[in-house]
Chain A
Amino acid sequence: MKKFKDTDMQLLLGQVLRAGTVISISVVFLGGVLYLYRHGHTIVNYKTFVGIPNFVRHLPGIIYGVVNIKGQAIIQTGIILLIATPILRVVCSAIGFVLEKDYLYVGISVLVLFIIFMSMLSGHAA
């Protein structure tokens, strides 16, 4: 098998980032169109922080919302995809480092992923 080089990794990461951005923005846009179509006429209120509509707060609610073609749920899915894109890039970096047999950097990439995972968990802690 051809040796995996830094230049291969650069190409891969570039593609992952571009694909991720395009796909997530498209989903956000689609959700946006649906949302505006249905709720364009309601009065907006972002002054007080009361959180966001309940169905968009948790994953089951978002899935339910997407299945029922609710614009806001689709937007939120797109946003989640967007947030996931750089994280996916780190995963790809880790895989690339494995292929390059650069185990120091496999470890560093995994450490970054671990920190992000901790960050996700801490969001839950009240």
Chain B
Amino acid sequence: MSVLVFTVIVLIGSYFAGFLGSLTGLGGGVVIIPLLTLVLNVDIHYAIGASLVSVIATSSGSAAAYVKEGITNMRLGMFLEIATTAGAMCGAILALHIPTQYIAVLFGIILIFSAIISLKRKAEHITLQKSFLAEKLKLNSSYPTANGTVEYSVTRVGGGFVMMLFAGIISGLLGIGSGALKVIAMDTIMRIPFKVSTTTSNFMIGVTASASAVVYLQRGYISPGLSMPVVIGVLLGALTGSRILVNTPSSRWLRWVFAVVVTFLAGQMIYHGVTGKI
């Protein structure tokens, strides 16, 4: 097929990926990579490179809005970025040496895991437990709500740091944002209020992806012709999605639909990886 037709198909596909990704919080990367590798037969390295670039775009675009609202915990984000960028660098380098079949299978597993996490009910909790590390690192903070400022503390900093390391490796290895893993680290392990963990996670995803993107860029894994429609499509789709998100309160059934789609794609990735077709 010609470049023009290919570009248009990728553009449309990316738009839907970005749209669904922003509505469900799973990100566009999880749909883009299976779409490119399974449907359009793109080599997974190119696909991961393009996905990483789109992740940077959506993260930066949305973080720009959230950080101004004062909910993002900048110091927490900065501190955890040590872990995520170090992980991302390792993940990107690992990706150069691991056979693509394993990447495909791992991708499928992480995808299923993320889908399950997105369906779990999030328990809202505020902890005021004092933690030595959190105090030293000035991580405890507050965030504005409709009812005034809410204070919160951060616990188990070490555990969160290790989880972020893992999230960074996964991001660099698979080209996704790893938002699900980051939210687990902050929400479940460090007991941070949900709104703070999602906005801070968003804040961090961009830098994490940049840390691995520079490796991919230098190795020639980022193809301009492919990345261009992916990044534009995903960004436009995500923008549309976030507009709609503001107006529609309940997205529960949508998460189920997306989780089913993602699980199907994950199964395909694993199957193709195992049978060596990727």
Which residues from chain A sit less than 8 Å from chain B, CB to CB? 6-7, 9-11, 13-15, 17-18, 20-21, 24-25, 28-29, 31-32, 35-36, 39-44, 46-49, 51-52, 56-57, 71-73, 75-76, 79-80, 82-87, 89-90, 93, 102, 104-105, 108-109, 111-112, 115-116, 118-120, 122-124
- CB of B53 within 8 A of CB of A44, answer no
- Which residues of chain B have a CB within 8 Å of any CB of chain A? 1-4, 6-7, 40-43, 45-46, 53, 56-57, 59-61, 63-65, 67-68, 70, 72, 74-75, 78-79, 81-82, 85-86, 88-89, 92-93, 137-138, 206-207, 209-220, 222-229, 231-232, 235
Contacts of A71 in B (CB 8 A): 224
Selected A-B contacts with CB under 8 Å, 9 pairs: A18-B61, A21-B60, A36-B4, A46-B40, A83-B217, A93-B74, A109-B78, A112-B78, A115-B211
Check B60–A17 contact: CB distance below 8 A. yes
Give A21 to B202 CA distance when docked, in angstroms. 15
Are A36 and B7 in contact, with the CB atoms below 8 A?
yes
Question: How far does the alpha carbon of A7 sit from the alpha carbon of B71 in the complex, in Å?
Answer: 11
User: Which residues of the partner chain B approach A108 to less than 8 Å between Cβ atoms?
Assistant: 78-79, 82
Residues of A within 8 A of B41 (CB): 46-47
Task: Enumerate chain A residues within 8 angstroms of B218, measured Cβ to Cβ.
Answer: 120, 123-124
Q: Is the CB of B60 within 8 A of A119?
A: no
Contact B81 A112, beta carbon cutoff 8 Å: yes
